[in-house]
Amino acid sequence: MGDVQTGMEAKAAVPLVKVRDLKMYFPIHSGLFRTHVGDIKAVDGISFDIMPGETLGLVGESGCGKSTVGRAILRLYDVTAGTVEINGFEIAHVDRDSLRSKRPMMQMIFQDPQASLNPRMTVASIIGEPLDEHMKLSGDERLARIYELMDWVGLNREFAKRYPHEFSGGQRQRIGIARALALNPKFIVCDEPIAALDVSIQAQVVNLLEELQTRLNLTYLFISHDLSMVRHIADRVAVMYLGRIVEIASREKLFADPLHPYSQALLSAVPEPDPESERNRRPIVLQGDVPSPANPPKGCNFSTRCPKVMDICRQQEPGVFDFGEGRQVACHLYSESMKTTAEPTGGERTN
Amino acid sequence: MPDTAMPILDVNGLETVFRTRGGSVHAVNSVDFHLRPGELLGVVGESGSGKSVTMMSLLRLLPSPPAEMRNGTVMFDGQDLLKISPEALRQVRGSKIGFIFQDPMTSLNPVYTVGFQLAEPLRAHLGMSKAEARARSVELLKLVGIPDPERRLKDYPHQFSGGMRQRVMIAIALACDPKVLIADEPTTALDVTIQAQIIELVKELRRKLGMAIIWITHDLGVIAGIADRVMVMYAGQVVEEGPVNEIFRDPQHPYTQALLKTVPAVRGPRAERLQVIEGQPPIMRGAPVACSFRNRCKFAFDRCAVENPALTPVHAPGHRAACFLLDTASTPKPEAVHG
């Protein structure tokens, strides 16, 4: 399993992260007795692999479930179904103690550095906390490690005694990155790490993430709604809509020639800082809003807004079609020309 | 001031200072700009560059204290908005100048129906009866593309999605047929596909109603698609302004140039490494006495530290920038400084 893989890496390479048919439902309780009346299907059966040293971009609009994917993979939630394998260890269903021993290899960088740093802790204690929890270091070793981490992320060592509020947004995000790196992780989930930052600061943080990836051989899941940034940083990109991956492809393929109607609309909606080409750009304007994940439409999730909707889309979930080189699309448009895949990286589904 | 029609809004020497216990912050420093009828002026800059504070100062929407409007004139309709009585100002706000805020959830009142909030300006400013206001509200919701308007008037803001809420905000801002619409980051909180819907809507409304619009954003892509003219702000000052094509094709200020390069493209060639602007924007503790961008500017030279550059005309009509590099007589060649 897992050898029908991305064209980017050598065929022999083993994926570092392997997600199969992951489901994350949040129950809805209602009425006097808080009876279980339904589920919010935030993530509804997604599968993908991430190769060592690779960056997989996960894009989609708010509410599509992309952040839930990131959190579920790291077992910040107890997943409803499916398997997650990181560096050969099954994460999704292990008990707390063995999970805890695996925590160092998988870390997270959060969206809002303001909210994810304790305002009453100094930078040194924030970065040092994971060291205290998972490693036995002497005071000197600990301080040396903290300084080393601060150097890596470009924070002045003199700031070690300061508190988060004394820093700007970009610097705070660097503190969050240093904390994530403290335990030498292999895999980092970056959950909208630049969304709260200004444009000129975003570029600084993205360049830092790229430098660190090269230096420490990190593997990233880069969750973002900023398509131009994802195009910059990701090797492969998965597009999510309403809890499912609709298309997964290499960066070049996806941005040059998106196949799923939703990917097409999403990419065409991004304005470009060029007045000339903007004048001629005709975005595919989708009608209406995203349906509620508590009550997804019958058939294809995108059928209520799809400009190319056919009768079958409202009846039957589309299968996943493999276009080779790791590119997979879940859409009925390709059912004529393509054969369904056997081993998907982007959304295994049984009809 | 260049060619054509008389400006509908003319701002000169606007200065806003926040006085707090931690010291004063000079948020708007001698800002001049104008807006012509039917024009869309894009205002870009990072957070803290003074975009929103400038626009809120025009309508005196900032609480005072801590805000203090020290200087300047804001000429609109033959009167200075900074001098007129609160009563007269109320007639301008919401009726002749409409305002759309960034976050439609916090700027709509959650305990009143959308219908009530739409009717409020109509009854207050135009003296409409309940029935007239209702009819006009339905018309407005139809105009901004909200399906089933009669029924939706009875709904509360939380019953609308983000994009629909922003449409409601636009409907309220348009209620009294304003001559000027100020939109403060109207699509920043929205997803790209919803942003595309709102931008198409604004383009269409401009064609139909012909009002002048000031559109504040940090998204250069949005500006490129809709603006006629662009004003770039940094540290509470206008550092460059000009026609949209000029600003994007031939930016003169090092800040504008850097800002345009930091944004990766979603189409066309892909850069291996992103360009960055090192450092942080300054906090203006006093009125600027030197170029505020000099510490982040790779072309900075001695003069930048002792004098604050004024906006000077660049070759193209209406294009001005505040940088000593344009003052060729006193300036060393950029290469010489840099390399």
Report chain B residues whose CB lies below 8 A from the CB of A204: 276, 278
Element (H, E) at A10: none
Question: Looking at the partner chain, which of A232, A266, A277 has a beta carbon nearest the beta carbon of B274?
Answer: A232
Report chain B residues whose CB lies below 8 A from the CB of A273: 220-221, 223-224, 248, 260, 263, 265
Over residues A58-68, mean pLDDT: 89
Supply the mean pLDDT for chain A: 88
Whether the Cβ atoms of residue B55 and residue B216 lie closer than 8 Å to each other: yes
Supply the mean pLDDT for chain B: 87
Tens-place pLDDT, residues B90-104: 888 888 999 888 777
Q: Does A199 touch chain B (CB under 8 A)?
A: yes
Q: Does B244 touch chain A (CB under 8 A)?
A: yes
pLDDT grade, residue A4 (50/70/90)? very low
The pTM assigned to this predicted structure is: 0.84
Report chain B residues whose CB lies below 8 A from the CB of A228: 263-266
Tens-place pLDDT, residues A276-327: 888 888 888 888 778 888 888 999 999 999 999 999 999 999 989 988 888 9
pLDDT grade, residue B328 (50/70/90)? low
Contact at CB, B264 and A231, closer than 8 angstroms? yes
Report chain A residues whose CB lies below 8 A from the CB of B245: 275-276
Q: What is the DSSP letter of A89?
A: E
Question: Looking at the partner chain, which of A201, A231, A271 has a beta carbon nearest the beta carbon of B225?
Answer: A271
Burial B175-189, CB ≥16 within 10 A → b, else e? bbebbbbbbbbbbeb
Minimal CA separation from B199 to chain A, in Å: 10
- Helix A199-216, helix B254-262: angle, nearest 10: 50
Question: Looking at the partner chain, which of A269, A277, A279 has a beta carbon nearest the beta carbon of B192?
Answer: A269
Q: Which residue has the higher pLDDT, B63 or A23?
A: A23
pLDDT of residue A290: 81
Q: Report the alpha-carbon distance of residue B164 to residue B191 in Å, rounded.
A: 12
Tens-place pLDDT, residues A227-236: 999 999 999 9
Minimal CA separation from B180 to chain A, in Å: 23
Q: What is the token pair recorded at B17?
A: 């200072």
Contact at CB, B192 and A210, closer than 8 angstroms? no
Q: Which of A325-339, B173-187, B295-309 shows the lowest per-residue confidence on average (mean pLDDT)?
A: A325-339
Residue in A closest to B271 by C-alpha: A232
Residue in A closest to B191 by C-alpha: A61
ipTM above 0.85 for this complex = no
CB pairs under 8 A between A and B: 118
pLDDT of residue B330: 52
Element (H, E) at A27: strand A17-30
Strand order in the sheet with A236-241: A106-109, A187-191, A219-224, A55-59, A236-241, A244-250, A327-329, A321-324
Whether the Cβ atoms of residue A351 and residue A317 lie closer than 8 Å to each other: yes
Contact at CB, B273 and A200, closer than 8 angstroms? no
Over residues B170-175, mean pLDDT: 88
Tens-place pLDDT, residues A130-158: 999 998 899 999 999 999 999 999 999 99
Contact at CB, B193 and A206, closer than 8 angstroms? no
User: Judging by DSSP bridges, how do beta strands A327-329 and B9-20 pair with one another?
Assistant: unpaired
Contact at CB, B266 and A168, closer than 8 angstroms? no
Q: What is the DSSP letter of A14?
A: P
pLDDT of residue A339: 55
Q: Report the alpha-carbon distance of residue A329 to residue B162 in Å, rounded.
A: 29
pLDDT of residue B125: 87
Q: What is the token pair recorded at A313?
A: 């889309």
Q: A271: Cβ–Cβ under 8 A, 6 or more apart, which residues?
A: A278, A281, B195, B199, B219, B221, B222, B224, B225
Contact at CB, A281 and B258, closer than 8 angstroms? no
Element (H, E) at A175: helix A169-181
- In the stretch 144-173 of chain B, residues with CB closer than 8 A to chain A read 161-164
- In the stretch 247-266 of chain B, residues with CB closer than 8 A to chain A read 248-249, 258-260, 262-266
Q: Does B224 touch chain A (CB under 8 A)?
A: yes
Looking at chain B, the number of H-run helices and the number of E-run strands are 12, 12
3-class DSSP state for residue B64? coil
pLDDT of residue A12: 54
- In the stretch 47-86 of chain B, residues with CB closer than 8 A to chain A read 47
Minimal CA separation from B260 to chain A, in Å: 7
Residue in A closest to B274 by C-alpha: A203
